[in-house]
Chain A
Amino acid sequence: MDPEQINEFVVGYLKKKGFSSAAKDLEDFHHHNNGSSLSSIDYHNDPELTKLIRSFSQQEDDPTRYRECYSKLRSWAYNSLDLYKHELLRVMYPVFIHCYMDLVGKGHTQEARGFFNSFRKDHEMVHLRDLQKLEGVLAPSHLEEMEFARSLRKSKVNIKICQYSYDLLLQYLHRTESTLMLGIINEHINFQVYSGQPTSSSDDIEAVTIVGSFQDTANHINQKEIQWGLLEDSLEDRLEKTGGLLSDSEKGQGESKDGDADDSKKRPTDIGKQGSSIKKLKKDKAGNATAKVARLETSTVPPTPRVKPELALPVMSTDVEQTILEDLRNRVQLSSVAMPSVSFYTFVNTHNGLNCASISHDGSLVAGGFSDSSIKVWDMAKIGQTGSGALQGENDTNDPTIGPNGRRNYTLLLGHSGPVYSATFSPPGDFVLSSSADTTIRLWSTQLNANLVCYKGHNYPVWDVQFSPFGHYFASCSHDRTARIWSMDRIQPLRIMAGHLSDVDCVQWHPNCNYIATGSSDKTVRLWDVQTGECVRIFIGHRSMVLSLAMSPDGRYMASGDEDGTIMMWDLSTARCITPLMGHNSCVWSLAYSGEGSLLASGSADCTVKLWDVTSSTKSTKAEEKNVNSNRLRSLRTFPTKSTPVHALRFSRRNLLFAAGAISKPAS
């Protein structure tokens, strides 16, 4: 290295740092002492030093350096060994977004945009939503303002990487002197290095979701114990016992096998505890079912674990109880070979105004929530009675809103002052709850056709409301990022569940009423304990906003559907995704488990109802079957509708599937 070069470096460095006069002096000095040695340090023979000087002389915050370094790293990663490639590529995304945010933060908007556009293609497939959000960030102030960006900046990303890949990466970074990349990686990525072979690329769902700081907390939370068993003394429970007498026992036995096989070790102790608690319970709920409890004591250990309710549950009238029992007794057994019948309710002439649809548990009532703040409830049983002739006559009259006998054939419920986003029937079908953009939830009586209560509490539009499986309690969720638990007799919420990082879009009760699940725009699903209001599970894996949830009737599994059409099935106790179900290509609006939990139905904006075989998938995760075809959750059937997006699904207690949707004119 000749001295002139060194001089150049020094001058360049000084200039860059703003010491222009010093640089000038130095130059002058050089002119005077042409060629003479300046310093006693022997930097001629010290390569490390020259490198250091060279790196200093390059402009440190030169925006083009980001691009150079990143593209170098990228091409290196893409050319790496196939075995380690996917692990190394996983590093690229956090580096990419942090490079971009660094550029924005330093005010190089132009370069940031250029950088973003040239490399966004690499990450679009997996991270499209995040990229869309980040794309708009163009000023340092936006970084501060936007929560997503802020959480990214503050937190470190956890990346699991095998020892060898990690070494490769570090070697590369040191060898090429890319201090910039090294800095970003050190600052924002937390490597969890493990020894052994790299994992296969398919099971890294967690790795692709950047969840900010709560990855650790999520892991921590998911350690908590949950009791997903069914309620003791539930109707199903009773049926199983009486069912043995009614020679309907194969179902009960099948279920018991299923339950026992997968019981974790802690269960027997729980059951033991329950056994001892039964007597206490007897006192608590003396009015409800003394006879039943007595029978329970005599019977053997219940097949699926039973838990006691943490809420005081409403007492069911005997009439209702009898009808439900009757329904359960007459339930059609569904399986992959015995498919359900699907009855489809098509809304016509909605003028694009139907926001939500809901079907009562017996399928006789259908409610629609409209964007003009109205709720309309149809009694399908009555429509069936009057027959199609009456409907025909109605169309012929001049005023189509009023039928021949002077009234509409639906009940119009007016009261909200904003689009109605959700409606739900109480289990016996005597109440309707609706939530609206006007931040309120309203309770309506289907017998009086009138508004009974208005629940105020949310500060922003209430996206979803759901009655608990036993009525009386209900859960709501809102744009204000909270989910709330209410009871019908109080106008204040009983619990507020806060923790989601974005809108809470959907809510669903666990069959034993002790938990609720919420799906959010932050792409996670959380499970909350109703009694304590604590988050007990975080399910990470969706790649876009979660739109629908369903709980399996045995309380063990949960299904969630998202905006992209992916459905994920989760094991509640382990918080693991059993298998993602691909098949829909648009938003999954609705999910429903069949009565005995063997089938999952999904309704989507792509105008199809799909049936999935649940049993095959759960088995395959347990004992990894050799048959390659069936180890994924199988799509059994696809029922295309006639350009009708499917808004709501409901399995009746007798396992008839009801679906509802508004017909949309095909795009011309």
Chain B
Amino acid sequence: MSIVPKETVEVIAQSIGITNLLPEAALMLAPDVEYRVREIMQEAIKCMRHSKRTTLTASDVDGALNLRNVEPIYGFASGAPFRFRKAIGHRDLFYTDDREVDFKEVIEAPLPKAPLDTEIVCHWLAIEGVQPAIPENAPLEVIRAPAENKPHEQKDGPLIDIRLPVKHVLSRELQLYFQKIAELAMSKSNSALFKEALVSLASDSGLHPLVPYFTNFIADEVSRGLNDFQLLFNLMHTVRSLLQNPHIHIEPYLHQLMPSVVTCLVSRKLGNRFADNHWELRDFTANLVAMICKRYGTVYITLQSRLTKTLINALLDPKKALTQHYGAIQGLAALGHNVVRLLIVPNLEPYLRLLEPELDDEKQKNQTKSYEAWRVYGALLRATGLCIHDRLKIFPPLPSPSPSFLHKGKGKIINTEPQKRKLSVDSSENRSPQKRLTTKDGPDGVQSQDHTGAALMEVDNPVENDKQPQNSAQPSSSEQTSDANESESRNGMVKESGRGRAITMKAILDQIWKDDLDSGRLLVKLHELYGDKILPFIPSTEMSVFL
């Protein structure tokens, strides 16, 4: 009948030492308790309103008790809300979680920082009725046409909602800001000022009115300045900053922005000078694309599918330049391992066949072309390698303590390796790409000489190559053990740990082959295609099992 059950009254009576309270008395008291509590709360709410608050605090209740000439309840500060715990075994019994505090701890604890003193900050909430877009003000809502009802002039015609183009007035400050940023982006320098500008773009509120101008600007400049590498790079940085800004809703403008971004990824030619490192730009843009997909993929469902379609078309078109292929590969790789597995891997074999002549020094005399081909090859290798690495990582029973990072490091080395080669062009002569591709014999030139791990690998290569056909053909456990030992010898780091584990691995092995034949096959396939170069991507323990 009352929201205060009589059990509560009984419990409270017990707690203050009244043991002989009749149940009838408790039953009579309960409604009165509820009434008094409501009365106090009504007064407390008044106190809260006069303190210009909308949340009730303990001090309001104290104030209300004061109004009723009741001693306030001491010991309840208006700090954090109380945590009520459910009493175990009771349905409706709660108690406050009152932690015991050790005096010693309190005394020994360093003094807390003095709270900051009250200050007044002054700003313009509005200037002649217009809210300036400054950080002190709440961020502007997305600009939309005011929903004004049109006067019913054309009543005879069908009801058409005509929206007049809305004229937005851009404040002088914003105009200046836009001009300045545009100038900096066009200045083609990588100055500190431009960096500051990028930070400002990425963090300032109130820039939203400029977004359409920026998208326009970027689209224009990208289409006009494809030969200007530094400009493109600056523009892409600008795009990234805009994307990073939490106060900007860029979704409505993505469709305008995407073509420019994709252009910077898969264009045939970016920059006109040989020294322009357009590879770097493509890498940067690939990450940018991935970022966009990750953030707006949920809003624009077709975004990723359209993007991947564009990229895979660029990749599979043999007429397209190698640079375009490179961009496409990087873009796809940045979209994640699943994309790589589903789109690149199936096309890997024909593509590599296509690439083969380009890689061959004898056939391809053009140094630049050859270099580009190696670049593409490296990108492919990295993409698929990371993909397989990711696949293999998910096996639960294989504890891999350190090697994964080691191999990642190697992956990078391989990736950056063509660049090094560029510096010493003549060193590429002693390499035989074809051999590497088919993994025949002889020391491999892929690994850079200064890396110890790579040196070890060179030594082991012949042995591995011998085993390779067997391994892929029929993986029997005994062979695998030996293989594992051999592969460990390749890799100094894993040696001690791996050997001991090798036996137990055998047991797990069968399961893995059963569990994920797919990954196994994938690995085998990749190994066929790439040869050894895929190995650094494989976590050592797994490799020890698979080989």
A interface residues, Cβ below 8 angstroms from B: 109-110, 113, 132-133, 135-139, 142, 338-352, 354-356, 366, 368, 370-371, 376, 378, 380, 383-384, 391, 395, 399-401, 408-410, 419, 421, 437, 460-461, 463, 479, 503, 505, 521, 545, 547, 563, 586-587, 589, 605, 607, 609, 611, 629, 636-637, 639-643, 645, 647, 659-660
B192 at the interface (CB under 8 A from A): no
Q: Cα distance A448–B181 when bound, in Å?
A: 52
The verdict on A351 contacting B35 (CB below 8 Å), with A113-B1, A637-B129, A640-B138 known, is: no
Residues of B within 8 A of A343 (CB): 122-125
B143 at the interface (CB under 8 A from A): no
Closest A-B pairs by Cβ, 7 of them: A339-B129, A136-B38, A138-B31, A344-B125, A342-B125, A342-B126, A349-B116
Q: How far is the CB of B218 from chain A (nearest CB, A)?
A: 30
The answer to whether A641 and B125 touch across the interface, beta carbons within 8 angstroms, is: yes
B22 at the interface (CB under 8 A from A): no
Q: How far is the CB of A521 from chain B (nearest CB, A)?
A: 7
The answer to whether A346 and B121 touch across the interface, beta carbons within 8 angstroms, is: yes
The answer to whether B57 and A352 touch across the interface, beta carbons within 8 angstroms, is: yes
The answer to whether B128 and A339 touch across the interface, beta carbons within 8 angstroms, is: yes
The answer to whether A344 and B118 touch across the interface, beta carbons within 8 angstroms, is: no
The answer to whether A344 and B50 touch across the interface, beta carbons within 8 angstroms, is: no
Chain B interface size, as a band, is: 35 or more
Q: How far is the CB of A381 from chain B (nearest CB, A)?
A: 11
Q: How far is the CB of A44 from chain B (nearest CB, A)?
A: 45
- Closest residue of chain A to B1, judged by CB? A110
- Closest residue of chain A to B51, judged by CB? A355
Residues of B within 8 A of A408 (CB): 117
Residues of A within 8 A of B42 (CB): 132-133
Q: How far is the CB of A132 from chain B (nearest CB, A)?
A: 8
Additional 13 contacts, C-beta under 8 A, given A349-B116, A421-B51, A609-B126 = A136-B38, A138-B2, A138-B31, A340-B126, A343-B122, A346-B123, A352-B53, A354-B52, A383-B122, A400-B114, A479-B67, A647-B52, A659-B125
Residues of B within 8 A of A629 (CB): 149
- Closest residue of chain B to A629, judged by CB? B149
The answer to whether B128 and A338 touch across the interface, beta carbons within 8 angstroms, is: yes
**Can you list 30 residue pairs at the A/B interface with Cβ under 8 Å?**
A109-B2, A135-B38, A136-B34, A338-B129, A339-B128, A340-B129, A343-B123, A343-B125, A346-B122, A347-B118, A348-B118, A380-B120, A383-B120, A395-B116, A399-B114, A400-B114, A400-B116, A401-B117, A421-B50, A437-B63, A461-B50, A503-B46, A545-B46, A545-B49, A587-B52, A589-B52, A607-B138, A639-B131, A641-B137, A660-B120
Q: How far is the CB of B471 from chain A (nearest CB, A)?
A: 57
Q: Cα distance A91–B159 when bound, in Å?
A: 42
Q: Given B47, B49, B120, which contacts A378 in the complex, CB threshold below 8 Å?
A: B120
Q: How far is the CB of A137 from chain B (nearest CB, A)?
A: 7
- Closest residue of chain B to A402, judged by CB? B117
The verdict on A142 contacting B35 (CB below 8 Å), with A419-B51, A647-B52 known, is: yes
Q: Given B52, B117, B137, which contacts A356 in the complex, CB threshold below 8 Å?
A: B52
- Closest residue of chain B to A376, judged by CB? B118
The answer to whether A547 and B53 touch across the interface, beta carbons within 8 angstroms, is: no
Q: Cα distance A521–B67 when bound, in Å?
A: 15
The answer to whether A639 and B126 touch across the interface, beta carbons within 8 angstroms, is: yes
Q: Cα distance A345–B38 when bound, in Å?
A: 37
Q: Cα distance A505–B125 when bound, in Å?
A: 28
Interface residues in B50-81 (C-beta closer than 8 Å to A): 50-54, 57, 59, 63, 66-67, 78
B127 at the interface (CB under 8 A from A): yes
Residues of A within 8 A of B35 (CB): 136-139, 142
B136 at the interface (CB under 8 A from A): yes
Residues of A within 8 A of B149 (CB): 629
Q: Cα distance A602–B120 when bound, in Å?
A: 21
B32 at the interface (CB under 8 A from A): yes
The answer to whether B31 and A368 touch across the interface, beta carbons within 8 angstroms, is: no
